[in-house]
């Protein structure tokens, strides 16, 4: 905290009295809650109480941790979802390994969403994650020589993983065989997913996973 000392003279002029007041520091751009130094993550809310404890928006400057959490158990929970989404964008395909390009495209996408909607684009991003996260999926249980599908509930950590992966795949797939840039693909995917539109790749995959799980109950 930043301390300031205010000195005030009494009316009699004989003695001096000191008062110590605390001035709250303003958040430093790029550290703590500011993403890309523009968007305040402290204003964002999550409508899904199951996902809320697992969504981390804390960032320090550029979203690049250098993989320091890669070998730690549940280390990805300490990683910002912004960086995790950027990492998913460059997993395979023509954007493989191009983190700076993907980070810049994501930042430009947030700028476009903010200019069109007039709201905090991080809220749109979190809403898209909530809509793209499946609540249940299927696994195969083997009984002797027979294996049959069985519906199981998905853990919040896995729900977040699947949502980020499908959002990234949908944004990258929008640029395939098209003149559309990665920024335009991210804007289209996040906007559709945040509204729960089935035309979105991630929301469509969630509907498919939950439909298969419902038939395997």
Q: Domain ranges for the chain, please list them.
A: 2-215
Q: According to the CATH classification, is domain 2-215 in 1.10.600.10?
A: no
Residues 11-31 have a mean pLDDT of 47
The pLDDT tens digits for 31-81 are: 457 888 888 888 888 989 889 889 988 876 677 787 777 788 888 888 889
Q: Which DSSP letter does residue 55 get?
A: -
- Residue 32 CA to residue 57 CA, distance in Å, equals 9
Q: Is the pTM of this model over 0.85?
A: no
At 9 the three-state DSSP class reads strand
pLDDT, position 43: 84
- Residue 107 CA to residue 89 CA, distance in Å, equals 13
User: Which stretch of 43-52, 70-79, 141-150, 152-161 has the lowest confidence by average pLDDT?
Assistant: 70-79
Q: What is the DSSP string of 100-148?
A: HHHHHHHHHHHHHHHHHH-S-HHHHHHHHHHHH--SEEEEEEEETTEEE
pLDDT, position 74: 81
Q: Where are the alpha helices (DSSP H) in 133-197?
A: 156-173, 182-194
């Amino acid at each position: 905290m930043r301390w300031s000392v205010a000195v005030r003279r009494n009316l009699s002029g004989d003695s001096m009295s000191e008062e110590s007041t605390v001035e709250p520091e303003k958040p430093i751009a790029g550290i703590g809650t500011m993403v890309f130094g523009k968007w305040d993550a402290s204003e964002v809310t999550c409508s899904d109480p199951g996902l809320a404890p697992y969504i981390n928006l804390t960032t320090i400057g550029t979203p690049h941790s250098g993989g320091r959490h890669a070998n730690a158990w549940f280390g990805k929970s300490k990683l910002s979802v912004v960086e995790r989404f950027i990492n998913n964008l460059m997993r395979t395909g023509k954007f493989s390994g191009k983190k700076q390009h993907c980070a810049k495209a994501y930042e430009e996408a947030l700028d476009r969403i903010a200019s069109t909607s007039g709201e905090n684009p991080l809220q749109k991003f979190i809403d898209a994650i909530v809509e793209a996260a499946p609540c249940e999926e299927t696994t195969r249980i083997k009984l002797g020589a027979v294996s049959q599908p069985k519906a199981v509930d998905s853990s919040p950590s896995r729900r977040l993983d699947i949502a980020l992966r499908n959002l990234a795949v949908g944004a990258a797939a929008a640029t395939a065989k098209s003149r559309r840039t990665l920024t335009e693909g991210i804007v289209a995917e996040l906007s559709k997913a945040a509204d729960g539109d089935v035309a979105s790749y991630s929301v469509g995959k969630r509907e498919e996973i939950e439909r298969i799980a419902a038939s395997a109950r």
